[in-house]
């Protein structure tokens, strides 16, 4: 059988259970009010920080330049700073600076006589409690971080919050400060390896009798080119002189070794003619031209002149023969060319030997070059690493010195001051207790009414049995008449 209630039945049901509801309401309200009275008034101190992008957020690779200068988003920077602010290490420093007994007197009383293990446990509880009292609020897109710390003592609240800001600034320096010790260790490691590489490099050059590999390689290339040019010139001059010597041999065959130097002419007939003419002149001084002695001389003169004119009385005298100077010159040129050919032949052979030696040296250097390149590359890489790590260590030291003195990208907009107005949860807890007591009493009354027998009204009974109720008798109490 289904129990049916109308809306007007519920007030009657609850009125029947008013005693239970009042008891439940009063008990829960008393408990809530008692708990509210135990709550203390706390004073929230407030502070705010302005966070800007600083050099510590700019990416600086330790080796190389890949992604150098990359920066995070502004919200990421704010979130990083909030994580540092809310870290347990910062709260531990605040507790150490202010004192656990001053921040949490109840824990402080136990802390004084506690063992080391208990002190660590109490300190952990204080760190947790301080984290609950600390509120950090940020706004997306805004570079401001707002801090609130509540404490029953307004002076302690302001002191703790200001100490927390100072501890945060100190602690973030240790986080963002680029340590130089790893850089120095790495630099020393590279210097050790560089010294070993230098020793191997020098040993390689000394064992192979090389002063400067690159300079010797370039020098051998230039020397080979010079020797090849000289050999080509010597071979060309040698061929030229051989051709000239051959031509001189042909010319020498066509030139006589000897040649006439001079010859003497016979002047006897001419002298005889002159003597006859002188004799006739002498006779004319004594004789007449037609005299017999004169005519005999004239006849002799006429016969002699006729013979001279005919050439019958002329002939060669003494003749001298000597060496032909042209033949002599040809021979001298042949001898000179033969000497030059021999010299140039020797020079060409010497140049060929030198070229072969230079080529062999170059081939030897070519065989040694891979090993040399490995050693030189190791030296260059290690030297670059040493230089880079030295520069980074110095830059890190300079940045650390600056960072230890300032936090340029973090500005304290507002420092905490002792609040004059406190906040308490007594009233909210009391109101909540009242509402909870009323709701619980209502639920208890409804539950009791639904599980209890009887009907609140004739109409409810009629709906239950499906028949009209014609009369109603009053409820008879036990022990009544």
- The phi and psi torsions of 473 (rounded to 5 degrees) equal -100, 145
Tell me the H-state helices in 208-324.
213-254, 268-284, 292-310
Tell me: the pLDDT tens digits for 159-175?
988 999 888 888 887 77
Residues 6+ apart with CB under 8 A from 366: none
Please, are residues 475 and 461 in contact by the beta-carbon 8 Å criterion? Answer: no
339 or 258, which is more confident: 339
CB neighbours of 158 closer than 8 A, spacing ≥ 6?
45, 416, 417, 418, 419
Does residue 154 carry a pLDDT above 60? Answer: yes
Sheet holding 410-414, edge to edge: 134-138, 144-151, 43-51, 410-414
Q: Give this prediction's pTM.
A: 0.46
Q: Domains of the chain: which residue ranges?
A: 40-176
* pLDDT at residue 402 in the model: 55
Q: Look at residue 2 in the predicted model and tell me its pLDDT.
A: 47
Query: With 80 as the cut, is the pLDDT of residue 407 above it?
Result: no
Which three-class secondary structure string do you get for 128-180?
HHHHHHEEEEECCCCCEEEEEEEECCHHHHHHHHHHHHHHHHHHHHHHHCCCC
Rounded average pLDDT over 146-168 = 88
Predicted local confidence at residue 73, as pLDDT: 75
User: How large a percentage of the chain has pLDDT more than 90?
Assistant: 0
Span 183-230, pLDDT tens digits: 666 777 777 887 888 888 788 788 887 777 778 788 888 888 888 888
By C-alpha distance, which of 20, 61, 302, 56 is closest to 173?
Answer: 56
| 172-186, 198-212, 224-238, 277-291: the lowest-pLDDT one | 172-186
Q: How much is the mean pLDDT over the chain?
A: 76
Q: What is the DSSP string of 441-478?
A: HHHHHHHHHHHS-S-SSHHHHHHHHSS-----PPPPPT
**What is the rounded CA–CA span in Å between residue 298 and residue 304?**
10
How far apart, in whole angstroms, are the C-alpha atoms of residue 399 and residue 180?
Answer: 10
Cβ-contact 39, 429 below 8 angstroms: yes
Phi, then psi, of 265 in degrees rounded to 5? -100, 140
- Residue 36: its pLDDT value, please? 67
CA atoms within 13 A on the CB side of 14: 14
pLDDT higher than 60, residue 466: no
Residue 30's nearest CA partner among 425, 423, 436, 424 is 436
Residue pair 169/406 in contact by the 8 Å Cβ criterion: no
What is d(CA 23, CA 31) in angstroms, rounded to the nearest whole number?
12
């Amino acid at each position: 059988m289904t129990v049916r209630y109308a809306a007007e039945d519920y007030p009657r049901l609850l009125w029947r259970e008013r005693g239970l509801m009042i008891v439940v309401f009063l008990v829960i309200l008393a408990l809530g009010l008692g708990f509210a009275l135990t709550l203390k008034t706390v004073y929230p101190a407030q502070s705010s920080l302005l966070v800007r992008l600083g050099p510590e957020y700019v990416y600086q690779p330790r080796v190389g330049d890949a992604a150098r200068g990359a920066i995070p988003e502004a919200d990421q920077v704010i979130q990083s700073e909030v994580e540092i602010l809310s870290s347990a290490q910062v709260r531990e420093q605040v507790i150490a600076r202010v004192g656990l007994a001053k921040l949490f007197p109840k824990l402080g009383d136990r802390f004084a006589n506690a063992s080391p293990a208990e002190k660590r446990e109490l300190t952990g509880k204080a760190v947790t409690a301080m984290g609950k009292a600390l509120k950090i609020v940020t706004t997306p897109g805004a570079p401001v971080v707002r801090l609130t710390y509540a404490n029953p003592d307004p002076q302690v609240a302001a002191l703790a919050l200001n100490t927390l800001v100072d501890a945060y600034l100190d602690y973030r320096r240790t986080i963002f400060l680029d340590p130089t010790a790893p850089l120095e260790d790495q630099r020393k490691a590279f210097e050790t390896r560089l010294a070993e590489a230098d020793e191997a490099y020098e040993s390689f050059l000394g064992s192979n009798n090389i002063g400067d590999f690159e300079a010797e390689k370039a020098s051998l290339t230039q020397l080979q080119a010079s020797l090849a040019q000289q050999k080509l010139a010597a071979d060309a001059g040698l061929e030229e002189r051989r051709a000239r010597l051959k031509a001189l041999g042909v010319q020498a065959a066509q030139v006589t070794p000897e040649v006439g130097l001079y010859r003497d002419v016979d002047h006897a007939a001419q002298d005889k003619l002159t003597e006859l003419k002188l004799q006739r002149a002498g006779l004319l001084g004594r004789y007449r031209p037609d005299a017999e002695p004169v005519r005999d001389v004239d006849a002799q003169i006429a016969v002699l002149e006729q013979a001279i004119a005919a050439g019958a009385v002329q002939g060669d005298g003494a003749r001298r023969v000597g060496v032909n100077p042209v033949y002599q010159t040809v021979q001298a040129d042949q001898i000179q060319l033969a000497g030059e050919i021999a010299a140039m032949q020797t020079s060409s052979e010497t140049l060929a030997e030198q070229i072969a030696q230079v080529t062999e040296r170059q081939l030897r250097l070519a065989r040694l070059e891979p090993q040399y390149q490995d050693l030189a590359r190791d030296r260059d890489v290690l030297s670059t690493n040493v230089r880079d790590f030295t520069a980074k260590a110095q830059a890190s030291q300079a940045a650390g010195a600056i960072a230890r003195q300032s936090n340029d990208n973090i500005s304290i907009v507002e420092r905490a001051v002792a609040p004059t107005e406190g906040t308490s949860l007594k009233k909210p807890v009391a109101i909540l207790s009242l509402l909870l007591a009323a709701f619980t009493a209502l639920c208890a009354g409804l539950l009791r009414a639904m599980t209890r027998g009887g009907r609140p009204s004739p109409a409810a009974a009629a709906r239950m049995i499906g028949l009209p109720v014609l009369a109603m008798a009053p409820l008879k109490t036990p022990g009544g008449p």
